[in-house]
Structure 1
Amino acid sequence: MDKKSIIGIVVVALLFVGFAYFNTKEQEKYQQEMAEWQAYQDSLAAAQPVVEPDSAAFAPVDSVALAARREQQVAAMGADLVAAREAEAGEFTVENDVLSLRFSTRGGQIIGATLKEYDRYAPRDAELHPVEMMDPATARFGMTFYVKNGLNNVNVNTLDYVFEAAPVETAADGSRIVVMRLPVAGDASLEYRYTIHNTAAPERDYLVDFDVRLVNMAREMANQTQIGIEWSNTSYQNEKGFKNENMYTTVAYRFPGERSIEELGMSEESKSKQITSSLDWVAFKQQFFSSVFIAPQHNISYADLGFTTAQPGSGYIKDFTARMTVPYDAATEGYDFAFYFGPNKYSILKKVSLAEDDDLRMERLIPLGWGIFGWVNRWFVIPVFDFLRNYIPSFGIVILILAVLIRLIISPMTYKSYVSMAKMRLIKPQVDELAKKYPKQEDAMKRQQATMELYKKAGINPMGGCIPLLIQMPILIAVFRFFPASIELRDQPFLWADDLSSYDSILNLPFSIPFYGDHISLFALLMAASMFFYSYYNYQQTASTQQQVPGMKFMMVYMMPVLLLLWFNSYASGLCYYYLLSNLLTIGQTLVIRRMVDDSKIQAIMQANAARKSNGRKSKFQQRYEELMRQQEAMQRAKGNTPKKR
């Protein structure tokens, strides 16, 4: 760094310090002036005489003025809307076997949804309560549109009006029908019709049909091309770990015809996004439960979606908002919408539809992974898991059997990987001899060619030990996504864990350790220990077959288990338990294979391969590798022959 750069940095630093000092002084001056002003206001208030309340002050408002004001409102809005605005709101509840819905005539909306079959998390000494999808005090669902009133257009927001509720009907199939009506003008009205099914089919019973009818509204509606919808609520924290639940809680939506869905992603504060394309549905998604507004036949044409994360310990998880529009023209008589209030359960969401030809893809709310990871979960892990849990009551035993099955499936790969490492170990003395024969850097090409020729004759694939590990990765990542998203594990105890979908705590700490948490998870601790022993054993095997990169032992043997312990301490105990079993089974499988494999037989096979391939052609891999080495050697020579500048 030259002298001018140093002077420039010093000047900038002095300016920054000076500005900070000046700003601090100005803030102190401002706060002092505000304090003096407040004291002055307090002194004035204290100096005012206290006036005893006079009965005249509480006299009723002039009835003539009140009547005149109401006439003005009627002239501006119409008598029906004014009456609906002044009416007193009421609430009532309608239930089926799995769902309890709380309605309010204010806005004709659902302000509460309780899932009877699921309990939300509470401390062990507290009373359990069913899962509630929203805080009734924050629930809002309103439609906005314009109606004509003489020469004026009136902006109607249904949240400002009280609907007329008809008595709840019970249909022949046992479903309950709620009809609420907002009079607009004369025989024109907005009608909400909710249908709560009770069919013993969860994909139907968690689904609430919401039909909106514009009864004789065509002549009353102003010229407009869309109707607005405002939907928002605050969701409760339903799981034990706030951080883990918050990671899965977001706003999700689906474009028509797409196989996948989109999400706003995770944020510890807030996030929002505007979408100008059509949408099939919008979901306020939590880790294991979702509230979904569905509009497949009258697609949402615009949406402004967002959320704000609640404070840990507040009892809430996120504040959701969705401002949407749906198309409208003079021929529109209504909309066929629906709500889903229920669990994020694959077998249920996959069947949710409003018509036979609907393909809502709501099962994509469950984060099973993209590409091959999602395929492994959908076509292997979930079917096997569902089959086993139908016959085995303990989910801990189900996870054990699943781990054993997966290890058996990939055992041929494990065997090939071990045999490849055994061949590398047996041939290492000859490789070391080649290193002694070509010790110079300029002979690197010859050394590599001789090594590849040696591998070829012995029938060794240098990638033979890595390819099986790469093939196993989709399964490992698939189960990593499956267990935290599997609602079947929720509230399922095993050994010391009371909930396999959340962390297991054997000791709650009086303080929080950064990146670790305020508790000790025994499954995470055992998983990290098993990872250490497996990594140590695996390193010993590979160290005897090939040269190790400096620092690799520290990273793989020591650093990786510690990082996993920090990461998984607040993760699902079912996942930690599975990885513990997987590590133990892998170690046991490797020890068994080691006893089965005879080094002398492998040596004989290598010698036979060498005799058979002594005059054989080079493989394509070997040819490409040698060509790469020639290019590197040419570049090094060119660099070495470049004259140095003086």
Structure 2
Amino acid sequence: MDKKSIIGIAVVALLFFGFAYFNTQEQKKYQEEMAAWQAYQDSVALATRPVVPAADSVALTAGGQDPEQAAEAARERRVAALGEYLAAARDGEEREFVVENDVMAVTFSTRGGQIRDVLLKDYTKYAPRGERNIPVSLMDPATARFDLSFFVKNGLNNVKVNTMEYVFTPSAVETTADGARAVRMRLPISETAALEYEYLIYDTKTPARDYLVDFDVRLVNMAAEMANQTSIGIDWSNTSYQNERGFKNENMYTTVAYRFPGESSIEELSMSDEERSKEITTSVNWVAFKQHYFSSVFIAPQNLSYADVGFTTAQPGSGYIKDFSARMTVPYTAQTTGYDFAFYFGPNEYSILKKVGDTDAGDGDLYLERLIPLGWGIFGWINRWCVIPVFDFLRNYIPSFGIIILILAVLVRLVISPLTYKSYVSMAKMRLIKPQVDELAKKYPKQEDAMKRQQATMELYKKAGINPMGGCIPMLIQMPILIAMFRFFPASIELRGQSFLWAGDLSSYDSVLNLPFSIPFYGDHVSLFALLMALSTFGYSYYSYQQTASSQPQMAGMKFMMLYLMPLMLLFWFNDYSSGLCYYYLLSNLLTIGQTLIIRRMVDDTKIQAIMQANAARKSNGKKSKFQQRYEELLRQQEAQQRAKRK
């Protein structure tokens, strides 16, 4: 046997014995954990055992076991499984209490030391009959869960601690030196070791600070008690109520969101799915249960090392919108003494979220404002840097949001008026040169002369100074603004509860007629602003078609889509949308029609004709550009290829 064979056999043997030893240790650890878990289950069963009535105690005694002895035996088994202090906390009596500031009321529970409910004082939700008279609650208290899980030593065994199974010992609520209300709760692990929670609720009259709850977790003398582990688990879940008028629209904006450290963007689960979950194996900075206009955010400035997030959509009419869940972990070492967390419970308002930051933990910009779906890329830039600053400025001085939307629509039309002017002039040139284009069609009537006809037409356009796309390009440039507005209005909590004319709430649809039946894709109500917006779209499309159909024959094939199908689709699409959005598009259409009529009166076709003739005279003696030369050469080559094919 050669040297290489001997080395190979030795390596294989080493791997085999190493694996056998590792497997033996894992099996031993598993058996110890299972034994501890079984002992714990036995203690739970005994602790929850029904109390035997006094009349039956004789029979029990006759069976050879005294009730007091049985209770004592059960207690001893619990102590053996959990330790003296955890066993006592396991059977403690739960208590709830409320701590308030100017903007919210937070309900705490000593079971699990968790926040059970958050009531937002400045906001109300829709009642079943449609009125707003119920304060917004961010979660159903019966479903609220915040559970820390870790292993502690108990003799030779390791005990898994789930904080939701234990009752914490609360201290009296105190006011700290910086004015915060401090809520402290303690879960004893041993005589000197404990898990401590401290919540700080501020009342600074600054929403960005007052909606933020600092949450500090302290491991007091826990290093000696903690078993060998590399992470601590966090299980956070709750069910959110339906707070808005329409289930479909609110559900579309309700999801789970999270942010990777160092990123200025956020990630979201698909909003409209009935059930969705995702496992995140990289670090995340925060996880949010995002509703349409409100959010509950768990912030971990030191980063979560793992997260498995998801939701399940509730049934329409149940009063709920989604069941949220997030299973997360934070790193742990023997040197870890605690964690600095925070919660944000509040509205999805840009001016507030932009300023939220857990400054004590020092994370810097949290980018919570990205929870508001303002659009990606250029659409988000337009909203963040143009629309929102103007909107916030106007609402500081104008109380009516209907007037603010009107001013915003006028400003937008003024900004894009140069584009509208260029578009009209381009269409006017196409209309005036139409007779000459028809002459070229008569000159080259045959199909094989199509290249010559196209070349002559392009030459005619060039001499007249016409860009065939001149009427379309300005419209395309306007599209980002229209789409930005489409994202801005439904996401603006500022419109929530604001009335204008017949619309009682500009953030919801304005139902002027409730139908006794539901029309597919339309709904069971009639939104007047959506109807007027569709009619104005039809009017604008009809006017535009009349202006372009004569100069652009290809538009005739789009008549049905432009005049009838598009307004009808918008009517069905926007019937459930924000009435503020429909109102804005209505104003935009009316202002565009008025602007076009004014430009038409200002622009003289005779002057345009003179300009076109001057361009033609100037360019007739001019040298052809390289682009034009290449284009004409390409046309000649294509024409030659077609002749070759015909031969």
TM over 0.5: yes
Take 1:59 and 1:167, find their aligned partners in 2: how far apart are those partners? 46
Q: Tell whether 2:450 aligns with 1:451.
A: no
CA displacement, residues 562-608 of structure 1 (integer Å, 9 cap, x when unaligned): 00000000000000000000000000010111111111111011000
Note if contact 1:206-1:342 (Cα within 8 Å) is conserved in structure 2: yes
2:199 pairs with one of 179, 191, 194:
194
Q: Tell whether 2:284 aligns with 1:279.
A: yes
Take 1:633 and 1:618, find their aligned partners in 2: how far apart are those partners? 20
Q: Tell whether 2:149 aligns with 1:177.
A: no
Aligned to 2:139: 134
Cα displacement (A) at 1:618 = 3.9
Note if contact 1:183-1:189 (Cα within 8 Å) is conserved in structure 2: yes
Please, what is the CA RMSD of the aligned residues? 1.8
Aligned identity (percent) is: 77
2:499 pairs with one of 470, 493, 502:
493
Note if contact 1:254-1:282 (Cα within 8 Å) is conserved in structure 2: yes
Q: Letter of the 1:208 partner, please give it.
A: V
> How many residue pairs were aligned?
588
1:326 pairs with one of 309, 324, 330:
330
Aligned to 1:42: none
CA 1:244–1:105 in structure 2 vs 1: closer, same or farther (change >3 Å)? same
Take 2:100 and 2:532, find their aligned partners in 1: how far apart are those partners? 45
Note if contact 1:452-1:622 (Cα within 8 Å) is conserved in structure 2: no
CA 1:615–1:57 in structure 2 vs 1: closer, same or farther (change >3 Å)? farther
Q: How does 1:106-505 map to 2 (within 5 A)?
A: 106-123=111-128, 128-296=133-301, 298-355=302-359, 358-505=364-511
Q: Letter of the 2:574 partner, please give it.
A: F
Aligned to 1:78: 83
Q: Secondary structure at the match of 2:386?
A: helix
Q: Secondary structure at the match of 1:331?
A: coil
Q: Letter of the 1:595 partner, please give it.
A: R
Take 2:634 and 2:89, find their aligned partners in 1: how far apart are those partners? 81
Take 1:67 and 1:236, find their aligned partners in 2: how far apart are those partners? 45
Cα displacement (A) at 1:629 = 4.5
Take 1:177 and 1:283, find their aligned partners in 2: how far apart are those partners? 24
CA 1:601–1:144 in structure 2 vs 1: closer, same or farther (change >3 Å)? same
Note if contact 2:126-2:132 (Cα within 8 Å) is conserved in structure 1: no
Q: How does 1:12-91 map to 2 (within 5 A)?
A: 55-56=55-56, 62-91=67-96
Q: Tell whether 2:543 aligns with 1:537.
A: yes
CA 1:442–1:110 in structure 2 vs 1: closer, same or farther (change >3 Å)? same
Note if contact 1:305-1:321 (Cα within 8 Å) is conserved in structure 2: yes
Cα displacement (A) at 1:268 = 4.1
Q: Secondary structure at the match of 2:442?
A: helix
Cα displacement (A) at 1:59 = 7.5
Note if contact 1:498-1:504 (Cα within 8 Å) is conserved in structure 2: yes
Q: Secondary structure at the match of 1:234?
A: strand
Take 1:508 and 1:72, find their aligned partners in 2: how far apart are those partners? 64
Cα displacement (A) at 1:121 = 1.5
Cα displacement (A) at 1:638 = 6.3
CA 1:388–1:224 in structure 2 vs 1: closer, same or farther (change >3 Å)? same
Aligned to 2:42: none
Cα displacement (A) at 1:107 = 0.1
Cα displacement (A) at 1:311 = 0.7
* TM-score (structure 1 length as normaliser): 0.88
Cα displacement (A) at 1:467 = 1.1
Q: Secondary structure at the match of 2:511?
A: coil
Q: Tell whether 2:108 aligns with 1:99.
A: no
Take 1:586 and 1:622, find their aligned partners in 2: how far apart are those partners? 36
Cα displacement (A) at 1:541 = 0.9
Take 1:626 and 1:274, find their aligned partners in 2: how far apart are those partners? 58
Take 1:212 and 1:394, find their aligned partners in 2: how far apart are those partners? 46
More off after superposition, 355-364 vs 96-105: 355-364
Aligned to 1:21: none
Note if contact 1:502-1:570 (Cα within 8 Å) is conserved in structure 2: yes
Q: Secondary structure at the match of 1:506?
A: strand
Q: Tell whether 2:602 aligns with 1:572.
A: no
Q: Letter of the 1:242 partner, please give it.
A: F
Cα displacement (A) at 1:69 = 2.3
CA displacement, residues 388-440 of structure 1 (integer Å, 9 cap, x when unaligned): 11111100000000000000111111011000000000001100111111111
Note if contact 2:175-2:181 (Cα within 8 Å) is conserved in structure 1: yes
Note if contact 2:57-2:67 (Cα within 8 Å) is conserved in structure 1: no
Note if contact 2:175-2:182 (Cα within 8 Å) is conserved in structure 1: yes
Take 1:127 and 1:101, find their aligned partners in 2: how far apart are those partners? 21
Q: Letter of the 2:600 partner, please give it.
A: R
Take 2:508 and 2:637, find their aligned partners in 1: how far apart are those partners? 53
Q: Letter of the 2:56 partner, please give it.
A: A
CA displacement, residues 445-477 of structure 1 (integer Å, 9 cap, x when unaligned): 111110111011101111111111111111100
Note if contact 2:545-2:555 (Cα within 8 Å) is conserved in structure 1: no
Q: Secondary structure at the match of 2:428?
A: helix
Q: Secondary structure at the match of 2:405?
A: helix
Take 1:618 and 1:176, find their aligned partners in 2: how far apart are those partners? 79
Note if contact 2:549-2:555 (Cα within 8 Å) is conserved in structure 1: no
- Any stretches of 5+ residues in structure 2 without a counterpart? 1-52, 61-65
Q: Secondary structure at the match of 2:117?
A: strand
- Any stretches of 5+ residues in structure 1 without a counterpart? 1-52, 642-646
Take 2:315 and 2:637, find their aligned partners in 1: how far apart are those partners? 58
Note if contact 2:261-2:284 (Cα within 8 Å) is conserved in structure 1: yes
* TM-score (structure 2 length as normaliser): 0.88
